Amino acid sequence: MSSANWLERETSVLSPGMRLPFFPLVIKEAKGEIIRDHDNNEWIDFLSSACVTNTGHAHPFIIEKMKAQLDQLVHYNPAYASHEQIVSLSEELIRITPGSFPKRVTFGLSGGDANDTAIKLARSYTKRSKIIAYTRSYHGNTYGALSISAVSLPMRKNMGPLLPDVYHIPFPDVYRSPFHSEEESKRCILAIEHLFETVCPPEEVAAIIIEPIQGDSGVLVPPQSYINALKQLTAKHGILIVADEVQTGFGRTGEWFASTHFQLEPDLIVLGKAIASGMPLSAVVGRSEIMNSVEPPSGAFSLAANPVACAAALATIQVIEDEDLVSRSNLLGQYIQGYFLRLQEKFEMIGDIRGKGLMIGIDLVEDRNSKIGSSSMAAKICWRCWEKGLFLTFFSGSVLRIAPPLTISEASLEKGLRNIEEAIKDVQQGRVSDEVLDRVKGW
């Protein structure tokens, strides 16, 4: 059956809330950085399943470990019994995450539920109710995660009431701010102080939840001075720092975890997406005293820490280490940024190039003075890339999302970058019609 037929059948059975309007893609198989549909079309994947498949699709070593685990034990509810994978994986997560203090781990199934767990842990430990999060952040669609997210109205519309006692503060945006990076950093810290002085007593705040590099807002990298000041402010008021590393984790940014770029040792770290190379698994890793502040069954999920998912996670960690993928992410990321810097000299529409490792955003603008984002150019470029065999998406309206698997071959990377360059030329010369905009809406 063709991809078009599958999509037609899907329309009458699937809730539209699940899918962002990008391309008519029905994946039949995926290996490494290549995805194939039901009509034998092929694309190079520059999205990695939204930073899930950092080790590429179906890495042979990870598949082998999953198959071996399937033969041994498929699952047992972790609320009732342990298994060796849950123990080994907890030890490994404690080893690789930042924080040189005693830590413990708890497991879930998605980044969203792990953020909910982090909120509960922070409230339970501090006995405070208020949570501070950021404008334009994305933390997931469970009620807690949704309540702290602030990037998309359709996520929230008619969903209330959401979790009470959540406050949103601005995330530093060095590119669009009229201020120099240090000034922007100060402006955003002042916003927290203002919040504390007016509507939100700091002694009632349990935690600040931050994406160390904000992802779905279009890859915003905060200045080091901001993180330094945030550390001071939270320490002064006994407020926990929760790092949502669901998107930034597992080598994506050229460090095991993005917090390390900023010498940040969060009290709690939220993990998901790439943790198990596509198997449903999430985790919260944090200071022992916080993790020990809850009682059973407050952290129980029947399907959490599935042994096959845990085996995939253990194998993922081993692959990232054996293949030195953290360094590779860094090296390839620098190469890509260099490539776009050269393109920026030729194409006025490339306003900003930012990110770390293989989490890169290319911000397209109507003109470099106004810095008004151009979502139509982003949509057209992505469509042209789709036609050329590159799976490229955009977010935050106007930002091309460059996030290939960390294992991508140099040949595929080069081909993908050339596809983007050609697509930019085509769009600039008016060779991509406006009709495309009805199809590729993105978000």
Nearer to ligand PLP, 264 or 365 (CB): 264
Which residues partner with 44 through β-bridges? 34, 390
Q: Which of 48, 85, 185, 247 binds ligand PLP (CB under 6 A)?
A: 247
Distance CA 400, CA 394 (A): 4
Footprint of ligand PLP on 172-211 (CB under 6 A): 211
Minimum Å gap between C-beta 360 and ligand PLP is 15
Binding string, residues 303-322; x marks residues near ligand PLP by CB under 6 A? --------------------
* Options 70-78, 240-248, 341-349, 408-416: segment touching ligand PLP (CB under 6 A): 240-248
Nearer to ligand PLP, 27 or 73 (CB): 27
Footprint of ligand PLP on 82-141 (CB under 6 A): 110-112, 115, 138-140
The answer to whether the beta carbons of residues 300 and 81 sit under 8 Å apart is no
Binding string, residues 42-61; x marks residues near ligand PLP by CB under 6 A? --------x-----------
Q: Which of 37, 173, 244, 352 binds ligand PLP (CB under 6 A)?
A: 244
Nearer to ligand PLP, 18 or 199 (CB): 18
Nearer to ligand PLP, 90 or 253 (CB): 253
Distance CA 221, CA 332 (A): 18
Coil, helix or strand for 34?
strand
H/E element holding 230?
Answer: helix 224-237
Name, in order, each residue with C-beta under 8 angstroms of 329's C-beta and a sequence gap of 6 or more: 54, 251, 252, 253, 254, 357, 358, 406
Distance CA 252, CA 51 (A): 7
Distance CA 443, CA 435 (A): 17
Distance CA 160, CA 16 (A): 19
Number of residues that bind ligand PLP (CB under 6 A): 16
Residue 218 binds ligand PLP, judged by CB under 6 A: no
Structure-token pair, residue 116: 């909910």
Structure-token pair, residue 408: 């991508």
Residues that bind ligand PLP (CB under 6 A): 50, 110-112, 115, 138-140, 211, 215-216, 244, 246-247, 272-273
